[in-house]
Structure 1
Amino acid sequence: MKKIISRCAAALLFCVASLTFAADNKKVDAVNKADFFTTNGAHLSVKGKNYYVVGTNMWYGGYLGSSGKVGDRARLVKELDNLKLLGINNIRVLAVSEKAEHNSAVHPATTNGFGDHNEELLAGLDFFMAEIAKRDISAVIYLNNFWQWSGGMTQYMSWIEGTPAQDPNVTKDWEGFMAKSASFYQSKKAQTEWRKTIKKIVTRVNTVTGKSYINDPSILSWQLANEPRAGNSKASAKEKEIYVKWINDTAKYIHSLDPNHMVSTGSEGLMGSNNDEKLYSDAHASPYINYMTYHMWIRNWGWFDKAKPAETWDAGLAKANEYLNVHIDIAKKVNKPLVLEEFGLDRDFGSYDIKATTHYRDKFYRIVFDTLYNRVKAGEAIAGYNFWAWNGSARTTRANYWWQTGDDFMGDPPQEEQGMYGIFDSDISTILIIKEYADKMHAIPK
């Protein structure tokens, strides 16, 4: 009898200890809903005050955070310190990449096949998140990619169909590539497998902090993908309908996993929506999409010719100003905040050399920042910006400027020449403009 009582007492003590431990853990991971980002009409908000995104893109943050051979935690800490000094309060970062065999994709990948994830790289994202939290920087974490440089949607379809993923840098068949990428939305197998990955990331517990991602207030939003499109330039009405439904259904699924964070699309805006305002508006009208996004690439879209900058500047800038402003007007109609989360321009005459001048880029940055700053200050629907992208201390020794496995990671992804759009830590004139407008944005009354 005494042994039975002793066992019961021991069991009781064990239960009490377990409950105490669980309660303590719960306290560690306890959250205050006011600490999470939300929306207030056409404004982003946190802790009851308006929040203005003053950000950059650093897709490779999780890579640098890895403790493996591809990581460089000392560099990551240095880059984040420098960005904080510049006034950056938000970084847009890639969550996962998919293993692709072509040269335009990053290697190694986070996902080597369905259900086969590189824990070392996932832990790198954990380290990145822990470090930005120390600096009061928020993150937009995107969960897929329409383009091939991180594997993305076409790699899902490659795994399913058993055929090599197309590299449009080689084939030059961008229309065919976009059609294949958009077929991802209609594939039940792709959506099932992708949702498994979404769940793995969204419900992950950070191995550095012990805090679940769901309860991490440093996350501004989960983002469906980088630049998702309904299809190619000839996307049908049915394809557009499928795309809008995919956005709604996936965003709803993420919210079902994580009630604390916002969800965004990653859309380029009208240029990624077949110049169809209804499609762009419909894609963001979902109650599960909390704010709107757009990107702007005046050289990629043929508005500005890097070989003839003086001759094409005025016309290109006019189109840029119209594009900047028309999206703010659309966001006002939809009554949701809007973020310009990608924009950039080459170094002068399209040079990739770090020593090349940035006269036109600097003019472009100043005009974009000034246009957005004035409309933010006026209380309109625009909630800020992320420039593309931060190269920081990265350097390339390649004579052709193309990235190869083992090279420094920089904001210019592997599908582009290294140094095309990214801002190096030696680009002093551009950095001074970034800092000037960051200070102005932070000074706007909340």
Structure 2
Amino acid sequence: MLLITCYLLLSTVFVIAVDSSSFVKVKNGRLYLDNHDYFFVGTNFWYGANLASVGTGGNRMRLIRELDHLHALGVNNLRVQAGSEGPDTEPWRIIPSMQPSPGIYNADVLDGLDFLLYEMSKRQMRAVMCLNNFWHWSGGFAQYVVWANGMATAIPYPGSYEQFEIFSAQFYGLTKATELFDNHIRFLLSRTNRYTNVAYTNDTTI
């Protein structure tokens, strides 16, 4: 317990000392911040953009409480979902999704992502932006397969998780699916945070 307490205390001091104006960089297989080794305590905060939304499911007071609590524990790195796919009528999904259909975005969820990054920057936290994945709850690769092959294509939800993974893995071989995903990446790269007026490409929180 003593070791854990000391580690968290040191982590908290480290977070306060970091200059958040710099990007975390990779050099020789190591992470650096301001030419020093970058050490972090991280956790999965996948629901952050939705929680930060002013729309359905959002609760900014709760978001701020949770960020304050994590910061007090010394957590300075959050994995956040920066891509979730609809349609919102599908089972086992984040609702509302960020991208209900190809190239169509939920403004409230995007605003939530902006606000989340803004609040993280106040606490000198860094965000690992998850843009896509194999999980059914985010839409992910499986939904891109459906968008590429036509909406009549049925996702084989678990049940058999192996069958679901095989279906989702088709993503890599479908040019249309990867093009749609590339469009999502370009969309976020072109975004400017409405709360900080900083382009995502220049935001050192990311």
TM-score normalized with structure 2 length: 0.85
Q: Distance in 2 between matches of 1:140 and 1:43?
A: 16
The corresponding residue for 2:108 is 120
Runs (4+) of structure 1 exceeding 6 A deviation are: none
Aligned-residue offset at 1:68:
1.3
List alignment gaps of at least 5 residues for structure 2: 1-18
- Which structure has more RCO (C-alpha within 8 Å, separation ≥ 6)? 2
Q: Distance in 2 between matches of 1:138 and 1:196?
A: 24
Q: How does 1:299-318 map to 2 (within 5 A)?
A: none
Aligned-residue offset at 1:91:
0.3
Q: Distance in 2 between matches of 1:164 and 1:180?
A: 10
Q: Which amino acid aligns with 1:164?
A: A
Q: How does 1:380-391 map to 2 (within 5 A)?
A: none
Task: State yes or no: 1:213 paired with 2:200.
Answer: yes
The corresponding residue for 2:73 is 86
Q: Which amino acid aligns with 1:167?
A: Y
Aligned-residue offset at 1:65:
1.0
**Secondary structure at 1:44 match in 2:** strand
Task: State yes or no: 1:70 paired with 2:60.
Answer: no
Q: 1:183 aligns with which of 170, 178, 185?
A: 170
Q: Which amino acid aligns with 1:134?
A: K
Q: Distance in 2 between matches of 1:189 and 1:69?
A: 31
1:207-230 deviation digits (Å, cap 9, x = unpaired): 1111001001111xxxxxxxxxxx
The corresponding residue for 2:121 is 133
Cα distance, 1:69–1:177 mapped onto 2, change above 3 Å: closer
The corresponding residue for 1:419 is none
Aligned-residue offset at 1:102:
3.6
Q: Distance in 1 between matches of 2:121 and 2:140?
A: 27
Q: Which has the larger radius of gyration?
A: 1
**Secondary structure at 2:42 match in 1:** strand
Q: 1:155 aligns with which of 122, 128, 143?
A: 143
TM-score normalized with structure 1 length: 0.40
Q: Distance in 1 between matches of 2:99 and 2:154?
A: 16
The corresponding residue for 1:354 is none
Q: Distance in 2 between matches of 1:177 and 1:53?
A: 34
**Kept after mapping to 1: 8 A contact 2:155/2:167:** no
Cα distance, 1:42–1:191 mapped onto 2, change above 3 Å: closer
Q: How does 1:39-438 map to 2 (within 5 A)?
A: 39-100=26-87, 101-161=89-149, 162=151, 163-168=153-158, 172-219=159-206
The corresponding residue for 2:7 is none
**Secondary structure at 1:92 match in 2:** strand
Equivalenced residues, count: 185
Cα distance, 1:69–1:174 mapped onto 2, change above 3 Å: closer
Q: Distance in 1 between matches of 2:27 and 2:102?
A: 39
Q: Which amino acid aligns with 1:148?
A: H
Q: Say what the alpha-carbon RMSD is for the aligned residues.
A: 1.7
Aligned-residue offset at 1:103:
2.6
**Kept after mapping to 1: 8 A contact 2:84/2:97:** yes
**Kept after mapping to 2: 8 A contact 1:62/1:122:** yes
**Kept after mapping to 2: 8 A contact 1:65/1:124:** yes
**Kept after mapping to 1: 8 A contact 2:171/2:177:** yes
Cα distance, 1:164–1:89 mapped onto 2, change above 3 Å: same
List alignment gaps of at least 5 residues for structure 1: 1-31, 220-446
Q: Distance in 2 between matches of 1:178 and 1:69?
A: 30
**Secondary structure at 2:100 match in 1:** strand
1:195-214 deviation digits (Å, cap 9, x = unpaired): 11111112210011110010
Cα distance, 1:69–1:104 mapped onto 2, change above 3 Å: closer
**Secondary structure at 1:140 match in 2:** strand
**Kept after mapping to 2: 8 A contact 1:102/1:167:** no
Q: Which amino acid aligns with 2:187?
A: K
